[in-house]
Structure 1
Amino acid sequence: MLKGKQTWLFDIPPIIISSSAVVGPDEGQGPLQNDFDIVHDDSTIQESTWEKAEKKLLEQAAQIAVQKANLKTSDMDFYIGGDLMNQIISASFSARTLAIPYIGIFGACSTSMEGLALGSMIVASGGAQHVLCGTGSHNSSVEKQFRYPTEYGSQKPPTAQYTVTGAGACVLARFGKGPCVTSATIGKVVDMGITDPFNMGAAMAPAAVDTIETHFKDLNRDPSYYDLIVTGDLAAVGHDIAKALFKERNFPINHTKFGDCGLMIYDREKQAVQAGGSGAACSAVVTYGTLLKRLNAGELKRILVVATGALLSPLTFQQDESIPCIAHAVAIENGGN
């Protein structure tokens, strides 16, 4: 059911019956290390290229999520996947391995919740019994494509963010046990004219604020409804800007219940990650690892995950374009049976 202009409210909420998170060594040294299914001690993952390593991360996350659901890949009606590479090669090549009917999507770092929202709509509408959603990224492949190869050794400003190496996946079902996806707000593109690719947090913050405000307006709901509202990867700079924008607009968000996956995944005092985490895998591994674990344990009952994405490319940067951004919000609540 469409509520307002941008929000789907699911009359029969799809259930997340399983999830998985696979990460690299840097993420395994962070504060969430115990919430991941696999922590690789080598970012190459025994592959010959960074891109092949990223594909392997997605394959592992997908296979683990399916196994946890006590199902087979042949039981999946659709696989919705995405990443940050040109032509979303990591997701598409993982789909080749998984051999599941495939819907490839790109929303930059917002891809995780874009996929979860679309998968939920398919399941809720009766279009599928089981949908697999997966999102991944790799620090070295992203640096090579969007900035400078790691070997170049360029110095980054403190506003820069550190791309998460990892992949997260979940299985959505019409029936089963687990947290439910109760609603999803599809964001609009917001462009504040920022052109600096090393300041993604500032570029994405207005899009996150716009989607969050729209979500509560569409549902006529107060922010206190959720135990936690978490953005995808605004990190330190963007998170502070978002809080300032909420204050400027008199939006009643509780800062003690307002978090960010990019701030949660690393220890910024001990790890050289500049402003914090980013990448398509950032919100994916935190949501499908840590947050769903806390929901299943009863520590949280209702959360709103707002994944943010900067929709630039190497080509648009070279042509001096500004950075258009987007954010998609998905509400996840306890209650599947």
Structure 2
Amino acid sequence: MAIRRGDTVIFPHPPVIAAWAAVGGKKESEGPLAAAFDELVEDASFKSEGCKSWEQGESLLQEHCVNRCLRKAGISKKEVDLAFAGDLQAQCTASNYTMRTLGVPFAGLYGACSTMTEGLCLAAMTASAGYARQVLALSSSHFCAAEREFRTPLEYGGKRTTTAQWTATAAGACLLRGAGNAGIPVLSATIGRVCDPQVKDINNMGAAMAPAAASTLLAYFEGTGTRPGDFDAIFTGDLGQVGTTLLHEMMAHAHCPVDNHRDCGCLIYDVEGQNVQSGGSGAGCSAAVLATYVLPRLLNGEYHRVLFLSTGALMSQTTFLQGESIPGIAHCVELGSPEGGN
């Protein structure tokens, strides 16, 4: 039975991430993690496959990613017991349409950019409890679809601020199984709490989300009696350069510096050379970095124990236009290497 320590659920018999995959677009193909993607798509609208909109293209991006993941896991879609999935489109329509095609049991999630780790937390709990044997966790984002929904359509040609982040055109998927299977063990899951630093600038997501990342990390350390130095790395997704600076300031102020911190928004792109302003963002950003950067390093033994957080800005286009502030949330999983986690 799992153990509860504060906001953290610890798994004495850890479920595992048995397979994973990432699919990206053109911008991602030009970044430092390009070679680690399972598939890169030059035309993220998928017009050659009959898509008529960027929104349809995102669904197909997800579908390609799931198919890659299941192929690596050696199972068919009929063998998936449950899928947790989400995206940035209104009412999670990209995921809804993907699951319409896949036809698997589906629980839709909306945690904005925190969705991937939210899905991992829920999938790990479900697999650990034995409610399902094969559980998918999946999230995606699409630059063009997100700009149209949350900011201004690309045709508008608006100038981006230096604090803005580039929404990744990417999807990441993980297949989880219960304890005793081969894979990357999920040692614990921490569900975050909503934090509201009263940021109202929709072009400064890093400032809106950094307090939530600090809150979840401090809650994890307090509940488990651990410190940052106990981990090979601590990943956040995705604060970008602005949010990363703020996180380090907050953690130092709490006498808990995170010198081993890496941010997915700063890993997926060459921030200095790719004109992405403060870095990457989007529900597909941390999902893709998890699959292309973090999990492979746990598998090959470069890392033995890491914390992986995804952070989300919980606003809508309506609340933003109404002058509401932008609350944030961060969920966290602790991951281990295969030889040390079971």
Scaled by the length of structure 2, what TM-score is found? 0.96
Indicate the residue corresponding to 1:286 in structure 2. 289
Query: Which of 175, 182, 202 is 1:177 aligned to?
Result: 182
Q: Tell me the secondary structure at the aligned position of residue 235 of structure 2.
A: strand
Q: Distance in 1 between matches of 2:227 and 2:163?
A: 32
Q: Distance in 1 between matches of 2:16 and 2:337?
A: 9
Indicate the residue corresponding to 1:236 in structure 2. 241
Q: Please list every run of 5 or more consecutive structure 2 residues that lacks an aligned counterpart in the other structure.
A: none
Please list the CA deviations of residues 93-117 of structure 1 after superposition, one character each: whole Å capped at 9, or x if unmatched: 1011111100101000000000000
Indicate the residue corresponding to 2:263 in structure 1. 260
Aligned length in residues? 335
Query: Which of 128, 141, 144 is 1:140 aligned to?
Result: 144
* One-letter code aligned to 1:195: K
Query: Which of 297, 301, 305 is 1:302 aligned to?
Result: 305
Query: Which of 59, 62, 68 is 2:63 aligned to?
Result: 59
Please list the CA deviations of residues 9-41 of structure 1 after superposition, one character each: whole Å capped at 9, or x if unmatched: 012211111000000010110000111000111
Q: Tell me the secondary structure at the aligned position of residue 337 of structure 2.
A: strand
Q: Tell me the secondary structure at the aligned position of residue 20 of structure 1.
A: strand
Q: Distance in 2 between matches of 1:2 and 1:88?
A: 32
Q: Distance in 1 between matches of 2:226 and 2:4?
A: 12
Q: Tell me the secondary structure at the aligned position of residue 332 of structure 1.
A: strand
Indicate the residue corresponding to 1:159 in structure 2. 163
Please list the CA deviations of residues 302-332 of structure 1 after superposition, one character each: whole Å capped at 9, or x if unmatched: 1111100000000101111000110001111
Q: Distance in 1 between matches of 2:5 and 2:136?
A: 28
Aligned-pair CA distance for 1:3: 2.7
Query: Which of 59, 68, 87 is 1:83 aligned to?
Result: 87
Q: Distance in 1 between matches of 2:212 and 2:172?
A: 23
Q: Distance in 2 between matches of 1:245 and 1:63?
A: 40
* One-letter code aligned to 1:184: A
After the TM superposition, which residues 195-234 of structure 1 pair with which residues of structure 2 at under 5 Å, given as runs? 195-234=200-239
User: Given that residues 14 and 128 in structure 2 are in contact (C-alpha distance below 8 angstroms), is that contact kept between their aligned partners in structure 1?
Assistant: yes
Is 1:192 the counterpart of 2:205? The answer is no
User: Given that residues 3 and 219 in structure 1 are in contact (C-alpha distance below 8 angstroms), is that contact kept between their aligned partners in structure 2?
Assistant: no
Q: Tell me the secondary structure at the aligned position of residue 207 of structure 1.
A: helix
Indicate the residue corresponding to 2:22 in structure 1. 21
RMSD of aligned residue pairs (Cα, Å): 1.0
Please list the CA deviations of residues 133-168 of structure 1 after superposition, one character each: whole Å capped at 9, or x if unmatched: 110000000000000011110001100000000100
Aligned-pair CA distance for 1:178: 1.4
Indicate the residue corresponding to 1:100 in structure 2. 104
Aligned-pair CA distance for 1:182: 0.6
Q: Distance in 1 between matches of 2:114 and 2:327?
A: 12
Aligned-pair CA distance for 1:247: 1.1
Q: Tell me the secondary structure at the aligned position of residue 220 of structure 2.
A: helix
* One-letter code aligned to 1:110: S
Indicate the residue corresponding to 1:311 in structure 2. 314
Q: Distance in 2 between matches of 1:70 and 1:171?
A: 11
Is 1:323 the counterpart of 2:326? The answer is yes
Is 1:49 the counterpart of 2:50? The answer is no
Ranges of 4+ aligned residues in structure 1 off by more than 4 Å = none
Q: Distance in 2 between matches of 1:268 and 1:84?
A: 22
Aligned-pair CA distance for 1:43: 2.2
Higher alpha-carbon deviation: 165-174 or 292-301? 292-301
Q: Distance in 1 between matches of 2:151 and 2:69?
A: 32
Q: Distance in 1 between matches of 2:3 and 2:321?
A: 39
Aligned-pair CA distance for 1:2: 4.1
User: Given that residues 159 and 237 in structure 1 are in contact (C-alpha distance below 8 angstroms), is that contact kept between their aligned partners in structure 2?
Assistant: yes
Q: Please list every run of 5 or more consecutive structure 1 residues that lacks an aligned counterpart in the other structure.
A: none
Q: Distance in 2 between matches of 1:50 and 1:299?
A: 37
Q: Distance in 2 between matches of 1:84 and 1:252?
A: 31
